[in-house]
Amino acid sequence: MDISSTIPKATLYQQQQTAKPAEQLTDQQQNFKKAAESVESFFLYQMLELSQPKQDPDSPFNGGYGEQVFRSTMNEITAEKMSETGTVGIADSIYAQLIKQQEGAQ
C-alpha cells in the first residue's frame, strides 16, 4: 500500500513546496505564491472583520474612532501573519491551482 494515498493531497503538496527553497522557484512561481498568499490574507482579514461584534457607541468601554482604526489594522496584520505561517492552507490550494492551470496552458 502506497502511504501517499492515505495523506491528503493538500498536505503532500504543502510538504513538497516547503521542501523546495524559494531560490529554486521561478519568477512566475514566486509571483503565484505571493498572489496566493495575498488572496488568503484578504480572505482571513474579511473573516476576522466580520467575526467581531460591532461596538456600542454608548458603551463606556467604546474606544471611538481610534479603536476602529486599531482594530482594522490589528486584523490586517493578524491575517497577514496567519497567511505567512501556511497553517490555514488556502494559499497552498490557490497556488496549486495556478501551477496546474499554467502547466495546462503550455
pLDDT exceeds cutoff 90 at 5: no
Q: What is the pLDDT of residues 36-90, one digit of tens each?
A: 999 999 999 999 999 987 777 677 777 777 777 788 899 999 999 998 888 888 9
pTM of the model: 0.66
Domain range list for the chain: 43-50+62-106
pLDDT, position 11: 54
3-state class (DSSP) for residue 56: coil
What lies within 8 Å, CB to CB, of 45 at 6+ separation is 75, 76, 79
Q: How far apart are CA 88 and CA 64, in angstroms?
A: 32
Residues 19-36: tens digit of each pLDDT: 555 568 888 889 999 999
